[in-house]
Amino acid sequence: MLDMDQIRTTLSEHYDLKPSQEMTDATQDIYATTSRVINPADWALYAPYVVAINALKKERNAVILAHNYMTPEIYHGVADFVGDSLQLAIKATEVEEDVIVQCGVHFMAETSKILNPAKTVLIPDMDAGCSLAESITAKGVEEMRAKYPGAPVVTYVNTTAEVKAASDICCTSSNALQIVNAMESDTVIMTPDQYLAQNVANESHKKVVYWEGSCIVHELYTPEDLRAYRELDPEVKIITHPECPPAVVAEADFSGSTSGIIKWVTDNKPAKAMLVTECSMASNIADELPEVDFAKPCNACPYMKKITLEKILWSLHTMQDSVEVDLEVAEKAKLSVTKMIDLSKKLGL
């Protein structure tokens, strides 16, 4: 557990973190990309951190890879690359800098480390987990193999390195259907997200059997809520993530990965959109899409929200916490991840 009082004291001894007109002026261009969702007083507090992180990033030869669920001050203020899980994994194979700061959850940092064992991969808070990654171990994968002999295991990237190492290939929400369809066997095991698996099964000709994990953010949505919302506002476009239960996805105008959602809203520019996913998604694209009115509600991911500007600065200052993966496990996990990346590229995804 990070000691935030001690972190704040130490950081204030090394960096000018007091809000000032000078810092606000120095970050005006960045603020312009997110002013619809961050008020000026809040930005005045963020600006010194944005300035300090961007300067320290250069000093450390570091790059910040950030998931689409990061808050807008991270997404617009300090990230060098933003994307969904597949895009972040692909980007991790292309990084030239010595240090990757992964602004996302632990499995994402682990994936970057698996793909880049020689680089330092930092995560600003080691406790940024994921309910899906916590739902299964390598033993669970072996149990599924014993139950369905000969069936390949397609494992969602939202898992630990051990689980990836025990699997045949990985998938993300943007390629799960195509990866499952590309398997030779008629039966395919999917772990650990039961809802992603059910959503894939609804569109695939394969028999999909699955582990019963779930995402604590997306499982909260109900079809009744979405129907009630649409009744109140028939114009609204409902866009879901495939980690939602199938009955929720059935109510949607579109369902896709986090970047798929951003692309759909950007391409279609609906007058009103309800993003049935994590709250920061709408905030991050609100300024680029002034014509779209983003409807609430949304659910926040408590793990993703552990990553803050303060912790990113601390991570770069101390060069901690660095993510390490056992070499033998990393080698095997890398096979599952690279198979996925290669197949995705081959399929043009």
Whole-number minimum distance, CB 231 to ligand SF4, in Å? Answer: 27
- Told to check if 125 binds ligand SF4 by CB under 6 A, we report no
Partner from ligand 13P, ligand SF4, none contacting 337, C-beta within 5 to 8 A by type = none
**Residues between 165 and 224 with contacts to ligand SF4, criterion CB under 6 A:** 215-217
Minimum gap (Å) between residue 232 Cβ and ligand SF4: 26
Longest CA–CA span in the chain (Å) reads 65
Q: Quick check: 11 binds ligand SF4 (CB under 6 A)? A: no
* Tokens matching residue 100: 């990757």
φ/ψ (deg, to 5) at 119: -90, 155
Output 264 or 303, the one with its CB closest to ligand SF4: 303
Q: Is 68 in the site for ligand 13P (CB under 6 A)?
A: yes
Least Å distance, CB 55 to ligand 13P, is 29
Q: Count CB-CB contacts under 10 A for residue 52.
A: 22
220-249: contacts with ligand 13P (CB under 6 A) = 241, 243
Tell me how far apart the alpha carbons of residues 283 and 70 are, in angstroms, rounded to a whole number. 10
Residue 243 binds ligand SF4, judged by CB under 6 A:
yes
From residue 74, how far is each of 20, 106, 256, 264, 340 by CA, in Å?
19, 17, 23, 23, 28
β-strand 187-191 against 153-156: which pairing, if any?
parallel
Residue 257 interacting partner from ligand SF4, ligand 13P, none (CB closer than 5 to 8 Å by kind): ligand 13P
Residues 78-97 that bind ligand 13P (CB under 6 A): 84-85
Give residues with Cβ within 8 angstroms of 76, minimum separation 6.
Answer: 30, 33, 34, 284
Q: What separation in angstroms does the CA of 254 have from each of 70, 219, 260, 304?
A: 22, 17, 9, 24
* CB nearer ligand 13P, residue 259 or residue 315: 259
Q: How many CB atoms lie within 10 A of CB 39?
A: 9
Residue 275 near residue 268 (C-beta atoms within 8 A): no
Would you count residue 194 as binding ligand 13P (CB under 6 A)? no
Each residue 273-312 as x (binds ligand SF4 by CB under 6 A) or -, in order, gives: -----x----------------------x-xx--------
Nearest distance from C-beta of residue 76 to ligand SF4, angstroms: 20
Q: Which amino acid is at 29?
A: D
CB of 274 to ligand 13P, least distance (A): 17
Size of the site for ligand 13P (CB under 6 A): 11
Report 132-161 residues binding ligand 13P (CB under 6 A): 158
Q: Are 165 and 326 in contact (CB under 8 A)?
A: no
Does 125 sit near ligand 13P (CB under 6 A)?
no
Q: What is the end-to-end Cα distance of the chain in Å, rounded?
A: 39
All residues at 6 or more sequence positions from 70 whose CB lies less than 8 Å from its CB, including other chains: 79, 82, 103, 104, 280, 284, 304, 307
Report in angstroms how near the CB of residue 186 gets to ligand 13P at its nearest. 27
| DSSP-derived secondary structure letter, 305 | G
Q: Which residues bind ligand 13P (CB under 6 A)?
A: 68, 84-85, 158, 172-173, 215, 241, 243, 257-258
What is the binding site for ligand SF4 (CB under 6 A)?
105, 130-132, 158, 215-217, 243, 278, 301, 303-304
